[in-house]
Amino acid sequence: MAKIKILTIILEWCDGEFSGYLKESEFFFTTEEATVTDVTRNLENQLKDYLIHEGRNSAVWKSITIENVRFRRVYKLGAFFEHFKELIISAIAMRAGINTNLVQQYVSGNKRASEAQTKKLEHAIHTLADQLKKVSLFS
């Protein structure tokens, strides 16, 4: 069985579009699209082209096929809240114990969140997701 290669796509939100990039030691692909799905698809196509052409001459990439690649999406805060519009910034800020106005400034790009603040927000989001997975509805 072929080994799975996991590549990280960094996603941002700017000027009404999602932008994404995929960076490895031998390549750097970027794209801007209307949706995260389209960004992922475009970067996958760029990688596929690389693997067919330049990558076949690379010791690192020659044995990798697109079928063996999985993508991990990492969101900048603005892109996260734009993609997951169902989540309200103020509610996530409150769960994380961070001032709502400060989080809104992080999301808008006016201020940069520290790693500790980012981890608090990520923990609040993951905790909410875990709680939602346990919900049962009755009609």
Parallel, antiparallel, or unpaired: how do β-strands 27-33 and 69-75 relate? unpaired
Does the pTM surpass 0.95? The reply is no
Instruction: Note the CATH number of domain 5-75.
Output: 3.30.160.620
Residues 66-77 pLDDT 10s: 999 999 999 999
> pLDDT-derived band of residue 16, with 50, 70 and 90 as boundaries?
very high
For residues 43 and 31, is the Cβ–Cβ distance under 8 A? Answer: yes
Q: What region, left, alpha or beta, does residue 58 occupy, with left being phi > 0 and alpha being psi -120 to 50 degrees? A: beta
The span from the CA of 66 to the CA of 4, in Å, is: 10
For residues 110 and 101, is the Cβ–Cβ distance under 8 A? Answer: no
Is pLDDT at 132 greater than 80 in this prediction?
Answer: yes
> pLDDT-derived band of residue 3, with 50, 70 and 90 as boundaries?
confident
Assigned token pair, 79? 């892109």
- What are the structural domain ranges in the chain? 5-75, 86-133
Assigned token pair, 41? 């698809």
